[in-house]
Structures are given as C-alpha cells and as structure tokens.
Chains A and B, each alone.
Chain A
Amino acid sequence: MSEDLPQSLPWSRIEVAVNPDHTDPAGRAALHELRAVGLKARDVRVHRVFFLQGTNDPAPLLELLVDPVSETGRAGEPVPGTGRAVSVCKRPGVMDPSEASILRALRSRGVTAERAVTGRTYWIDADADDAALLDAVGRCLANEVIEEMGAGPVPSPRDLPHGHGSDMIPEVPLIGLSDDELRAISKRYVLALNAGEMRNVREHFATLERTPRLGELETIAQTWSEHCKHKTLTSPIEYVEEGRTEAIGNLLKETVFGATTKLDKDWCVSVFKDNAGIVRFDDEHDICFKVETHNHPSAIEPYGGAGTGIGGVIRDILGTGLAARPVANTDVFCFGDLDTKKVPKGALHPLRVMKGVVAGVRDYGNRMGIPTVNGAVCFDERYTGNPIVYCGTVGILPRGRSEKAAQPGDRILAVGGRTGRDGVHGATFSSETLHDESDEVSGGAVQIGNPIEEKRVLDSLLRASERDLFTAVTDCGAGGFSSAVGEMAEHCGADVQLDQAPLKYAGLNPVEIWISEAQERMVLSVPPKHESEILALFAAEDVEATVIGTFTDTGQLVVRHGDQTIVDLSMEFLHNGLPKTPRRAEWTQPAVEPEAPASDDLAAELERVLRHGDVCSKEWIVRQYDHEVQAGSAIKPLVGPEGRGPGDASIVAPVLGSHRGAVIANGITPRYGDLDPYNMAMCAVDEAIRNAVAVGADPENIAILDNFSWGDCNNPEVLGAMVRAARGCHDAALLFSAPFISGKDSLNNEFHGEHGRIRIPHTLLISALGQIDDVTTAVTSDLKRAGSKLVLVGETFCEMGGALYGGGKGKTPAVRESAPAVMRAVASAIRSGAVLSCHDLSDGGLAAAAAEMAIAGNFGVRIDPSAIPVGEEMGRLDHRLFSESATRFLLEVEDVPQLDVPHAVIGEVTEDGTIDFGDALQLSLESARSAFFHWEDTLR
C-alpha cells in the first residue's frame, strides 16, 4: 500500500471537538470511568484527531470530518481544552477500520490521500499531574496492548511496522535430536507440539530423507493444534474412577458424537463435519448453528478479543455448506466478580473485561446486521484472570446446499481483508495457558476486527452462492491460509503461490503470510469457467478477491513464494500423521456435605439471589445489542409490558414472510461442576431444552451444541472431570432424544500469576436450537393477569449442592428418567393455548423464578409452599423455595390444562405488589425490582 512512500511525506492534522454549548457524551462516559478508578476529575472532553498523509489542502478535510452543526474543527493545530491532555492512538499496524472509509470519502471529492490515522485526546480537568492522568487513562480508557498513549496532544503517526525481514525460510534439522531438544524447538517456534508429536515429524522427514522447512513445521503445528484437531478429547485415555480402571479409545466419539449416531435423526443434515452443524428447517431451507470460544484474546484485550470472536463465528456460518446467511447471534460470558478487589498482576479487572467484551460484541455484531438474541453471564472469582467468551451464530441456507468439495483445477480464491502480521500464532497461543506476561508476549495474537469488511464479504459471498459460482468455501480462522487451504485440499491437493496474496504492508515473510490469522478473510474454490464472473461480482461490491493458486489431484500441499518452496507436504501425513498421545484421567466423586442451616430471613436471601450476577437483569447488556435487525424478532430477550423481564429463550422467524421460528436457548451450570461434572452436564442440557420448551419449542426437534471450557487436561483430575461431563452430555442427549450437531473445546483455561495457578471452574455451555411451527403460538414469562393460577410442573428434591442459596452444600440436582415427559407435557399445554405465561426454574429455584415472573409482568404472587410437589421428604421451607432441582416449570393458567406428570396449583397472581410465600417469605415487588435491576444504577 504505502511501503514506497518517502518517510518525509508530511501529515495534515485535523482536530475536532464538540462545541462547548453541547454535551459531550463521550467525555461524560470517560469522566465516569476515570472517577470509577479513583481519579477525582471535574470534567472531561474528548477531541478526535485525524492525520492524513499525501494531501495538504485542509478545506475538504474539515468539511468531511467536522459536523457543521455540533462541532468545531481546526487544521494544523489543537483545539484548546481545559485541564491537561492525554492522547491515545493505535499502535502502528493495528487495524483502524475507519482508514478505508475516510480515504474513500475523500476520493469522492477528488482528493487523494495515502493514509489516514485516527487518535483521540482526553482533556481532563483534575488536580493531578501527567503521571497520575496517564495511569488512570491506562486503567480504564486505553489498552497498551493495542494502543499508545502520552501526555499532551496526539503526536504524528509513525511508519507501519515491518515483518521479520528476510524472505528466506530456514530449514530446521531434527535428525538425532533428543526429546528435550525437540521440545526446545517446539517452544522456540511456538509450535505447541509435544515430544511425541515432534518425534513423528522427525521420522516423517527422515523417511523423505530431507530436512523440514520452517514453513512445513508451522503448517503441521497449525493443523495439529488443539484448536483445530481436538486432540486431547480424541486421544486414548486410561480412566480411573473409584479405583476402577477403564480404557477410553476416543472420548468425543464415544460420548457426544456417539449419542448423535445412536439417535440417527432424519432431520440432521450435516453433523460434526462442516464449520457448523446443519439440520432441516422447512421445505426450502436448512438451518445451522455454531458456537465458538474466544477466551485468551479476550483476557488480554477484551474489546478486540470479543469482536474478533463474534467475527470468527460469523465466518464459520458463511463457510458452512455453500455459504449460509447468518440470522442470529448468541453470547455467553463468564467473568470474575465485578466488585472484586483482588486482581492478580497481569490480569484486567473483571468489570473492565465485561465492559470491553460487551462493547466488542456490540460493535461487531450490530455492524454485521445480525441480531444478538440470546445469552447468559456467570460469575466466579476463578474467571478473573481467564474470562470465558462464547460467541455463537445461527445461519440459514437453501436445502441441497450443504455439501461442498473443491475440485482439481479449481482456483484458490482469497476473498476479503488483506493479510498482515496481526494474529500470527493465534491457534497455538489459544492452546497455551495464560500467564502474567501474556499481555506482553502475545500482542501479535490480539487483533481488532473490521466488521464492515466482513459485511461486504457477507453481502457479496451470498450473491456468489445464489449464482452457484463456487464449489467450496471455508473461513480463514485459526491457522489462516494454512488451515483453510489445507482443509479444503485434504482430499485432492493444492499449489499455492503466496506472493499473489494481497498484503496490508510490505515486509511479511512467507511463513507469516501463510499462517497469519488476519481477520475477515474467506477462501473459495472456483471453477475456471466462473473465475471472471466471480471476480467481477466481488469487484462490484468493493471486495478484494485474488487467485492465490489452484487445487490439484496430487495429494500434496505445495506452497511457493517466488521461486522458493515454503511447504511441500503430503496431505496424508498432514491430516493423519498426528500421533495419539495416551492420557490419564481420574475422578473421585467428592462426598456430599450436609446443607447449611436455614437462614432466618428468607426475604433477604431472595433479595441476595436476585442481586447475584448470574440472576440479575442483563438489560444493561441486552439493550446495547441490536436484537431486532432482519425483522424476524418474535420473542425478544427482554419481555413484559416494560420490556424488562428476563426471557427464557428468543424466537426469530428467519424467512421473511413465514411464521416458522427458530428458538435459541442455552444452559450453563458451572456452579455444580466442582461437586459433580456429570450432573452439571445433565443439568446444562436440561436447562437448554427447558428454556426452549418454555417459549413453545417442539421438544422432539431440538438440536444441541457442546462447548467445553476446561483447565489443563494434562492434570488427570481435570481430564477426569471432563470424562464425567462428556458422559453426562451423552446420557442427556439420549434421554431427551436431542442430538449434538456441533461442538468445540477450549482447554488450558488457567491463569499463572504471582500467587500460583488459578484454574477456571469446569464450564460447559449447552446451546439449543429449537423450532416452532408458528411463532404466534409462543408464550413469554411475564405474568399476564391478576387472579390466574400458578401451576408448578415437575418435582422438587432437596438438591442444594451448588445452589445460589445456602452456600451450595448438599446434593447437586439430578436429571431423572421422567424429564422428557415433563418437557412434552409443558409443550403440549402451551400448544393447546392454555398457558398464559411460562418460566423455567433454575438459579435460585422457585423463589427466584416466581419473583422474575412477577417483576416481568408487574404483578404480585401468592404461593403456598406446602403445595409444592416434592419427590422426597422435604421438611425445610427454605429448601422448597430455593432448591435448584432440574426439569421444573412455573405456568400461569386460567384453567389447569391436562398434564400427565407431577404438578400442582401452588398459588395465584395478585395485584397487591408482594411476592408472598406465606409465613416463609414476604418481599415487596419494589424491593425485588431494585435488587434485580441493580446494574442499571451501578453500570453505565
């Protein structure tokens, strides 16, 4: 782009400020953040600064960059502010999405500029010196992983970074090296391969009688990464439970996949082989769903990490079948406690992580025009250094478009963003644990996304698909071109000419080009007869598309840069040469501890539960997401007359003009995981299905996804917990007849800090994709009218283990054989039209569920705890109110419908503004609301 520009080419500088007579909302927001980190500031104003290289006429710049109604701009000099200035701008080479837009707008005015760089200045009115201001800004407004800051006005931009320089790729001799030496090589080149894997590589090249090239080692490392191959969960495991030893050949195949194979549903179209699982939707469409994790990048740079997480899973959907159209997003997060004072060195405060993650999902998802309709947030102090970020996308595609295969002779077409150094080694980085220097050494793995680039790719790719111009497509995700091309060419072969790939800037060496994970790129296989048509189509939409090679029938992956061969590997070795590393797993079920004594103030306990982060209103998050774009929103994430109640699941009708709905729900229960990972998994599946059924989904047609976020599975106990959870997934899928269609695991979620390692709780997200024939038969959880009856369906047990109430001691909730019958009974009651509202019972049990329905509908409830159907002797009222037993629903009805499962009328809806459980608990609706909505007062 600009590599040949003389360094002396001057920069024009434009500074823009909101006029003093208008409020500056960005300044007010910054003021709030600075005060929150302890800076006693009186006022903050934010000025935007633009640098343009290659033009020196300020008039068109001012006209473009300054709003004539509300802003003031100056060319060449700062706009004076009050107090002291701290400036922030992106580090050279970090994506600045606005650059292309600014250059384009100037071109339409006939002005040609070469580069545009943006920055911002905070004018802070406070009694503090520069050092204190820089410290405060660094803690809440700038992230030095991607940004630079300094006192005073924004300095002129520096030149773009250059790569490692040499184009010559070395060979790496392995012959005769010991295991320790092989490990040292793996570490030196960030390959994340163990000694056994390195030995296989050494032997392969010994057979070929040559020395491996670094490019070949990198390609193998990317392809064999945990991220791409799930190698831990597919390895042979020696599993010891309660003294018994058994051999597991392939955990994933025997549990999650195994259940799907046994269920053999005819509505499953493509499972566990494409980027996303695909099921039938209607006569003309299939529907697909994928959920990904993006944990480690989000720990270091929450905004960029979460944004590129959602960007990546959207590309997964674009690369499913012959391209699916994304129709809904879902996001589930786990953070440390928001009010914690204990943040280890090298970790960001959980509040900052949450704000950054939410903003990242918001700015990427909203710009993509995909509604974010569902989510959850869980809190535990062990997530502080290692937050969990799950991003999921649902897509729709015409039937008959789910199979793809690149053909020999097809062109390899790289589409979308250019390749830069950003994201080199992301796949291998994600497979390592985090430590307190991660933010220094891994900066290259953190990126900022450019959603508009991806939106252009989406628009044009779907048009190319409608015209049937390509034979296969996949996204450039982990491993970049190396994984995308390697995967598409697995059954044929490929010749790649890397010097054809468009670059963001000069100086990348060929291996960097090959493995860069720069965002917003897709790879297509295009028959030669369609080449000119597809190139014209992309050009018309301003999308860069470049042929970088050809698919072959040689079975070899050959990559060249100029005359130099970078990679010449057999597909057979690349895809099947990974040795199975035997692993050990152990599990000892912890003894059940007796429950805590009863609290003497259950109303205060309910208030505490409603305030808990896992339960309280997420309105602050939900409203920042566009949850209605695409005009398919039938049941929204927030329900009730004020649009503030928590919904169980969302429904979108993805085909314009049709009433058929996709139901999107999730289940996540990490609080049970320490005590019993098997029950945790069963409960997560139960919760996901329960949430879908609660709004009207057909329980016979629900597909589910598994996402494991686990600690270091080299620890046998950690892997043992995984075995238990995977078996829970298997049994639950069979019980509910709900097949898994896709899944993902993220291992090594541990933070190594100054006080040792902190392992996250075993965290399993189950995502559910249900269906409903007619969205106008759905129900919501807000209470509808005074005088109607409340029916509790399903039995309550004394299951306080992991519960929010009472310290979590006791048995964990179990999912019983009767569970599917309960789901069917509730679904049938909803279909009959007899149900006014329905809510599932989960965190906080009956008390929390009843309170949420009351808050959502703005009514009171009167409930008789003695009427609750129990499955065992339950003498204690607190247990009846707060037990988190699975498979239970609270229905509001006028007349009790036919229900052939345990149920009882336990109370009624009132107008007296009280959550009334008789003598056991009385809480005013007002108090319940202020506890439930407390984020609205504390977050901004």
Chain B
Amino acid sequence: MSVPVLVLRAAGTNCDRETAHAFATAGGTPESRHVNELLAEPQLLARYRVLAVPGGFSYGDDIAAGRVLATELKEKVLPELERFVTDGGSVLGICNGFQVLVKMGLLPGPTSDGQTVTLSHNDSDRYEDRWVDMETPESVSKFVTAGDDFFFPIAHAEGKFIASDETLDALEKNKQVVFRYRNEGRSRNPNGSLRDIAGICDATGRVLGLMPHPERHLEPWHHPYWTRAGLANEADGLKLFRAMVAAAE
C-alpha cells in the first residue's frame, strides 16, 4: 500500500522539496501543501498517514524559532492533529519542524500539559552547520532501533534542548529520548543540549522530532567525507525514512 505523506510548508519553510523527495525515495507518496490550506480545512489531515513538518525558518523564526507556526497550528488544528495521532498517524518534525512540535506541546506530550520542553539558542549564540554523530538509546520510537548509529548534519541557531530536571527524568524513564549527540572522540554535543538530547518522541512512539536533518543524508554522496571513506550502500537518512514509511503501511 502506498503511504500518503503530507509535507506541510509555511512562509519560510525551506526543506519541503527535499523532505518530500526523501519520502518518495523511501516509497511514500508525498504531497506538499501550504499551511493556509490546512488552517482553512483541518480535516484534510485525515487523508494522510504521515505528517512531516520540514526544516526552515517558518515566519522567519520571528519571536522564537517555530513559535508563530506552532501558535497557528495549536489554535486551529490541534484537535485534528490529536485525532490523527490517536488514529495511528505518524508525525515527523525536522529542525524547525521539531521546534514547532515542541512549542505546540505535541512533543513530548500530552498536549494537555502545554509546552514542557524548549529548543533555545545554541550555547555558541550562532547558527551552525556541522555533521554530528548520534546514538540511539532504548526508546518507544516505532521508527528507530536502539543501538543504531546515525550521522546527520545540524543546521540551526536554536537547537539547545532545555527542560526541567523532572521533565528530563520523565523523558528518560518513559523512553522518549530517541537520539543523543555522541560525546566522544571528535564528536560532540554541538549546541549545549541538556543530556545531549537531539531528538525525542511522544508516548505512542509515532511522533518524532529531531534537530539534525536526515533528508540531507539521503544519498551516500551527501556524506561529508565520502571521497575518503567510499560510498555506502544506503545512507543513514534513507534508513529513517524507509522505517517511517514501513511503519505506516
């Protein structure tokens, strides 16, 4: 069965084309839609099995990264989004999309708690584009197998994961931490994220958000030093998109 994927874009979204391409490469059937369509007709969501909120600078990241789009979705689409997840739909938020999901309270959830974690300015106070090694602890994610390593680039100014100690403890206890920046050798936490958290999921394991960009490691030649290590058979990013499509089939 082909998996219909909604790739949502707003003013300032800029990774929508490659995110749609990634889902198509992984066997899904992506459609790109402007958020205005969804705001006008929230029940459109029900046509899809996967919702992707891609990277970029929605509304310029004015006020704070993802804040304005998160406010719009929370005000106009939250009930439909909750139903979408309850009915078995999957959600992926990449970079700005992760910021949106966090700021509308869909991650880590439940939404009745409101926003409980945040993604704030990098410790460097600078936008940075660099590749990061990630490890995957035991988690309830339906898409990621614990112990798999992933290598993706980050490209953000506001990716520092912040939450209270109690919230962080709860995330770990409930196995909602999906990706951690590896802190060994020349790999390091690039933004000061608490407990090295790079990506989390909700309690169902079907809503996933992460700061690094899997769609930028879709091809083996996206790898930053493929000219010395050789070309891999399958790039890490494609593995993640395939898993999402497979889980939705």
> Which residues of A come within 8 Å of B, CB atoms?
18, 22-23, 25-26, 28-29, 64-65, 67-70, 97-98, 101-102, 104-105, 108-109, 362, 366-369, 450-452, 455-456, 459, 540-542, 622-631, 633-636, 638-643, 656-657, 659, 775-776, 778-780, 782, 784, 837, 857, 940
Whether A102 lies near B121 (C-beta < 8 A) is no
For the complex formed, measure the closest distance between the CB of A43 and the CB atoms of chain B, giving whole angstroms.
15
Assuming A452-B12, A628-B213, is B56 touching A369 (CB within 8 A)?
yes
B119-132 Cβ-contact flags toward A at 8 Å (1 or 0) = 01111111111110
Verify B127–A630 contact, CB threshold 8 A.
no
Asked whether A541 lies within 8 Å of B34 as measured between CB atoms, the reply is: yes
Contact B14 A105 (CB under 8 A): no
Interface residue from B75, B128, B219 paired with A108 (Cβ < 8 Å): B75
Known interface pairs A26-B125, A623-B126, A940-B124; 19 further A-B residue pairs with C-beta atoms within 8 A, sorted by A's residue number: A23-B192, A64-B71, A65-B63, A69-B117, A70-B118, A102-B62, A105-B59, A105-B67, A108-B39, A369-B15, A455-B12, A459-B9, A541-B36, A624-B127, A624-B128, A639-B225, A640-B225, A780-B225, A780-B227
Beta-carbon contact of B62 and A22 below 8 Å: no
- Asked if B110 is at the interface (CB within 8 A of a chain A CB), the reply is no
Could you show 30 A-B contacts with beta carbons less than 8 Å apart? A18-B120, A23-B192, A25-B122, A25-B125, A26-B121, A64-B67, A67-B120, A69-B162, A69-B163, A101-B68, A104-B72, A105-B59, A109-B71, A367-B61, A450-B60, A452-B57, A455-B12, A456-B12, A541-B36, A622-B129, A623-B129, A624-B128, A625-B129, A628-B216, A629-B55, A633-B216, A638-B224, A640-B225, A775-B221, A782-B228
The reply to whether B71 and A105 contact each other, CB–CB distance below 8 Å, is yes
Assess the B155–A628 pair: CB atoms within 8 A. yes
Q: Which residues of A contact B9 (CB under 8 A)?
A: 459
Q: Is the CB of B121 within 8 A of A101?
A: no
In the complex, which residues of chain A have a beta carbon less than 8 angstroms from the beta carbon of B85?
none
B18 interface residue per 8 A CB criterion: yes
* Residue B116 lies at the interface, judged by CB distance under 8 Å to chain A: yes
A338 to B227 Cα, complex, angstroms: 35
Tell me the nearest residue of chain B to A775, going by C-beta: B221
| Contact residues in B for A459 (Cβ distance below 8 Å) | 9, 11
Residues of chain B lying within 8 A (CB to CB) of residue A22: 120, 162
Give complex CA distance A631, B12 in Å: 17
B218 at the interface (CB under 8 A from A): yes
CA distance A643 to B229 in the complex (A): 13
Given contacts A623-B128, A624-B127, contact A630 B17 (CB under 8 A): yes
Q: Is B173 on the interface with A (CB-CB < 8 A)?
A: no
Interface residues of B in 83-129 (CB under 8 A from A): 103, 114-118, 120-129
Residues of B within 8 A of A369 (CB): 13-15, 56
Interface check B64, CB cutoff 8 A? yes
Contact yes or no, A455 B118, CB < 8 A: no
Residues from chain B with Cβ under 8 Å of A656 in the complex = 17-18, 21
Does chain A have a CB within 8 A of B231? yes
Q: Which partner residue on chain A sits nearest B130 by CB separation? A: A623
Among A451, A626, A641, A776, the residue within 8 A (CB) of B60 is A451
CB <8 Å contact, B62 and A98? yes
A396 CB to nearest chain B CB (Å):
12
Is A626 in contact with B115, judged by CB distance below 8 angstroms?
no
Please tell me if the beta carbons of B59 and A104 are within 8 angstroms of each other in the complex. Answer: yes
In the complex, which residues 7-44 of chain B have their Cβ closer than 8 Å to any Cβ of chain A?
Answer: 9, 11-15, 17-18, 21-22, 25, 34, 36-37, 39
The complex places the Cα of A649 from the Cα of B73 at a distance, in Å, of 42
CB A674 to nearest CB in B, in angstroms, measures: 36
Decide: A452 near B118, CB < 8 A? Known: A70-B162, A369-B56.
Answer: no
| Contacts known (A64-B67, A776-B221); A105 close to B72, Cβ less than 8 A | yes
B218 to chain A, nearest CB (A): 6
A452 touches B117 (CB 8 A): no
| Distance, CA A628 to CA B14, complexed state (A) | 11
State whether the Cβ of B76 lies closer than 8 Å to any Cβ in chain A: yes
Are B227 and A627 touching (Cβ within 8 A)? no
In the bound assembly, the distance between CA atoms of A940 and B126 in angstroms comes to 9
In the complex with contacts A456-B11, A643-B130, A68-B125 CB distance below 8 A = no
Question: A889 to nearest B CB, angstroms?
Answer: 16
**Chain B residues within an 8 Å CB radius of A643:** 130-131, 224-225
Q: How far is the CA of A109 from the CA of B78 in the complex (A)?
A: 13
- Taken together as a complex, chains A and B put the C-alpha atoms of A857 and B229 apart, in Å, by 12
The CA-CA distance from A18 to B76 in the complex, in Å, is 29
Residue of A with least CB distance to B158: A25
User: Nearest-CB distance from B113 to chain A (Å)?
Assistant: 11
Closest to A774 in B: B221
How far apart sit A775 and B120, CA to CA, in the bound complex (Å)? 37
CA distance A775 to B186 in the complex (A): 28
Instruction: State whether A108 and B115 are in contact (beta carbons under 8 Å apart), knowing that A102-B62, A633-B222 are contacts in the complex.
Output: no
Is B196 in contact with chain A by the CB < 8 A criterion? Answer: no
The binding surface of chain B is classed by DSSP as: mixed
Our count of residue pairs bridging A and B at CB distance below 8 angstroms stands at 185
CB contacts (< 8 Å) of B117 on chain A: these are 69
Residues from chain A with a CB closer than 8 A to the CB of B59 are 101, 104-105, 452
Given contacts A28-B125, A67-B64, A626-B155, is CB(A368)–CB(B21) below 8 Å?
no
Nearest 8 pairs of A and B residues by beta carbon: A369-B14, A25-B125, A98-B62, A631-B18, A101-B62, A69-B118, A101-B59, A452-B60
Any A CB within 8 A of the CB of B4: no
**Chain A residues with CB under 8 A of B224:** 636, 638-639, 643
Shortest Cβ distance from A931 into chain B, in angstroms?
Answer: 20
Residue in B closest to A656 when the chains form the complex, CB atoms? B21
Taking CB atoms, residues of chain A closer than 8 Å to B163 are: 69
Q: Is B215 an interface residue (CB 8 A)?
A: yes
**Docked complex: B148-179 residues within 8 A CB-CB of A:** 153, 155, 162-164
Inter-chain CA distance A451–B11, complex, in Å, is 10
Best-buried of A26, A68, A628, A639 by chain B (most CB within 10 Å): A628
Q: Which residues of B contact A104 (CB under 8 A)?
A: 59, 68, 72
User: A892 vs B56: C-alpha distance in the bound complex, in angstroms?
Assistant: 39
Of the candidates A451, A623, A782, A784, the one having the most CB atoms from chain B within 10 angstroms of its own CB is A623
Question: Does A631 contact B36, Cβ atoms closer than 8 Å?
Answer: no
- Is A367 touching B57 in the complex (CB atoms < 8 A)? yes
**Residue among B68, B114, B153, B186 with max Cβ neighbours from chain A (10 Å):** B68
Known contacts: A101-B59, A455-B14, A623-B130. The answer to whether A29 contacts B125 by CB under 8 A is yes
Question: In the assembled complex, which residues on chain A have CB atoms less than 8 Å from the CB atom of B34?
Answer: 540-541
Bound CA–CA A636/B221 (angstroms): 11
Instruction: Assess whether A362 is in contact with B127, with CB atoms less than 8 Å apart.
Output: yes
Q: How far is the CA of A5 from the CA of B206 in the complex (A)?
A: 49
| A630, B155: Cα distance in complex, Å | 12
CA of A387 to CA of B131, assembled, Å: 32
Give min CB distance, B95 to chain A, whole Å: 10
Q: Is the CB of B63 within 8 A of A641?
A: no
B103: chain A residues within 8 A (beta carbon) = 67
> Given A625-B129, A631-B216, A780-B227, are A101 and B63 neighbors across the interface (CB < 8 Å)?
yes
Q: How far does the Cβ of B38 sit from chain A's closest Cβ, in whole Å? A: 12
B212 to chain A, nearest CB (A): 11
- Chain A residues lying within 8 Å of B71, measured Cβ to Cβ, are 64, 105, 108-109
Query: How many whole Å from A122's CB to the nearest CB in chain B?
Result: 14
Interchain CB contact under 8 A, A631 and B225: no
Q: How far is the CB of B33 from chain A (nearest CB, A)?
A: 11
> What separation, in Å, do the CA atoms of A421 and B30 have in the docked complex?
43
Q: Find out whether the CB atom of B118 lies under 8 angstroms from the CB atom of A67.
A: yes
| Complex Cα–Cα for A775 and B153 (A) | 19
A366-B127, A456-B11, A542-B11 known; A102 and B218 CB under 8 Å? no
**Chain B hits for A368, CB < 8 A:** 14
Contacts A541-B36, A626-B155 given; does A108 touch B72 at CB 8 Å: yes
> CB-CB < 8 A to A641: which residues of B?
225, 228
> Quick one: which of A98, A362, A625 contacts B63, CB cutoff 8 A?
A98
**Closest residue to A463 on the B side, CB-wise?**
B34
Nearest CB in chain A to that of B128: its residue: A623
Q: Which of B185-217 contact A (CB under 8 A)?
A: 186, 192, 213, 215-216
Residues of B within 8 A of A542 (CB): 11, 36
